[in-house]
Amino acid sequence: MPQSANLSFANLSAILLSIVVVMAPHAPHVPKWTVAFCLIGLLLRVHAGLERRPLPARPLLFSFAAVAIGGVLFSFGSLFGRDSAITLLLAMTVLKLLEMRSQRDINVTVVLCYFLAITNFFYTQTIFTALYSIGAAWLITGTMVSLQHQAGPARFLQVARTSGLLLVQAVPVMLVLFVLFPRIEGPLWGLPRIQNSARTGLSDTMSPGSLSRLSLSDEIAFRVEFETPPEDAKQLYWRGPVLWDYDGRTWAAGQRITLSSFRYESLAPNLRYSVTLEPHDQRWLFVIDLPARLPRGSVLTRDYQVISFRPIQQRLRYSAESSPVYRAGTEALPAELKRALALPPDAAPRTRAMVRQWRELGLSGLEIAQRVLSIYREQPFIYTLEPPPLRKDPVDQFLFETRRGFCEHFASSFAVMMRAAGVPTRVVTGYLGGEINPVDGFLVVRQSEAHAWNEIWTRDEGWVRVDPTAAVSPLRIERGLATAVPDTDPQPMLRRTQLEWLIELRHRWDAVTNAWNQYVLGYTQERQTRFLSSFGFSNVGWQDMVITLMIATGVIIGAFAIGMFVRLRSKKTDAVQKLWLRYCSVMAARGVVRNASEGPKDFTQRVADRFPGLRERITRIGDLYIDLRYGKTDTPDKQDALNIRELRDHIRALYLAASSPAKTP
């Protein structure tokens, strides 16, 4: 079997540690067989290194490669795509580790670790991911530095210092690349995904319990920066999917029809703001009800929902304008009104019997809505995150039996009662409110702010918002979810805590994360163009940026090269080198001149052959110099001082012997 490369176990351990560090973050994202495959390969390499055993033969490695390719095809059905490509790269890196038979193989394996560290960003681009990747790069670079120590094992502090210095020197080039590298719209590097991963967020359907489960999540849905802040927190209704169709248990959005333009009457000053939306793999964008100006790359549906041209698979920043108080929809189509009245024939029989008489009384739509809201206010309804399960007809059971529910229970039952009374009604889902971060002033809207409300149609007013939750729990509208539900209801810890220092810490971390999202991850093509324009570079194309990038990088590398050259020229000779040069002068006086290309080991052997009587002293001088010059750190220890003194004594003795003819051999 072929032998492995001549690699010390210390260097092998550094390579293995680098591979483990860059592979570990991928474990939750790849199939379980991949983790087992990589662990087996790493253990085989450790065993071969400890026992000095030969590496697997190429036929066996080909078999391993076939197993890896087959596993990828079985798991993903293709070798193309983000997940399949990363899984294959992990497996092939382990296989490369098992065939390191030359210095080239070693270098390729270490360089592969850099690529694996980069692939972490395909899954997440958080601050923690960036810091972890920097640590991994420091470790990999240190591994490469340690591989260059051939005279003896490298010391950890020396390797760590050199690796850190190299990374610091790369920072200017990194900044230039960040600012000038042309940005490409779309997901990271445009790498396609085979399928969208499930994400926490709203859906275009609603059934009992769906929003109450979502409200247990503390994940951020989006952040908002206001140019014109709202006058009242009650205006912060963030419009999302609008639900029309009811099957007796679940509300669904159904078919969407887009609008090229629509008419509305604004009854209050418009709000202007920018939203940084977290990816949710859907196409809807959230704006304050009612949108007056659409974000770029979006359209408006007939029910006033803003829809993006493409699914939101990466963090998106967009500007919008809304009219929080408005009159719209007076020109609703008959087909829409008919759809907003539809109910399954067997749905909610007790509820229908209760409201049947309202229609006969000749009440207007708004009067019927007030009568429904009075039921929530006067009856013992409870707003809670832990509603009991509804196994029968959900509306009848909620209204007449359990009377405990979350916003979806109230919105669903309100819509059924209004439709049964002959008033066109639809359900609107989205978010309500948000929390101002006092550190950076951004409004943070979390998944726990998910909400559902209703809109009824009247001939004079059009579509009018009615929030039945406000009838049973006004605190939900005015102060947020945490103050509205019972203290016994489960909520995320940071939403319930009263510890001021913990709340402050959370705000500061949110502000740091937001700054990272806005200025690093949010450095899009549009922002890049705007940033370069502020320096006078107008109408900059990608060709111009590439040329500027090459020039700037060349200038930085040239500056480093000149600085290193000047430093080497001005660097003072240390004590060990002075002694060695003095020794070379003594030998030159005796007729043995060191060649410019001659190393200390070869020179010592030649001098010892020339003067056999001084072989022991000459050999000792060579050993001391090699140990002090190539085997130690820059910081001398006590033993170094003793060796320097001994080296000085031996050279002085040779100098005195050369000065005395009687002692010259």
Distance between CA atoms of residues 453 and 432, nearest Å: 10
Are 240 and 284 within 8 A, CB to CB? yes
Are 242 and 304 within 8 A, CB to CB? yes
Residue 348 in tokens: 């909610």
Distance between CA atoms of residues 298 and 290, nearest Å: 15
- Of the CA atoms within 13 Å of residue 606, those in its CB half-sphere come to 15
| Catalytic choice (26, 280, 409, 451) | 451
Which residue type occupies 550?
A: M
Active site annotation includes 451: yes
Q: Tokens 């539900």, residue?
A: 485
Distance between CA atoms of residues 620 and 624, nearest Å: 6
373 alpha-carbon distance from chain centroid: 44
| Catalytic choice (38, 113, 407, 584) | 407
Alpha helix ranges (H) inside 456-541: 469-472, 474-479, 493-496, 500-516, 525-533
How far are the Cα atoms of 99, 539, 546 from residue 543, in angstroms, in the given order? 41, 11, 5
| Catalytic choice (105, 393, 396, 467) | 467
Q: Tokens 């990747």, residue?
A: 133
Residue 104 in tokens: 């080239």
DSSP string, 188-234: GGG---SSPPP-SS--SEE-TTHHHHHTT---EEEEEEESS--S-GG
DSSP string, 542-597: HHHHHHHHHHHHHHHHHHHHHHHHHHHHHPPP-HHHHHHHHHHHHHHHTT-PPPTT
DSSP string, 49-65: HHHTPPPPPHHHHHHHH
Active site annotation includes 396: no
Are 180 and 172 within 8 A, CB to CB? no
Closest CA to 419 of 467, 347, 328: 347
**Cis omega (within 30 of 0) on the bond before 95?**
no
Q: Render the burial of 557-576: b for 16+ CB within 10 Å, e for the rest.
A: eeeeeeeeeeeeeeeeeeeb
Active site annotation includes 544: no
Query: Dihedral sign, CA of 296, 297, 301, 303?
Result: negative
Are 253 and 241 within 8 A, CB to CB? yes
Q: What residues are labeled active site?
A: 407, 451, 467
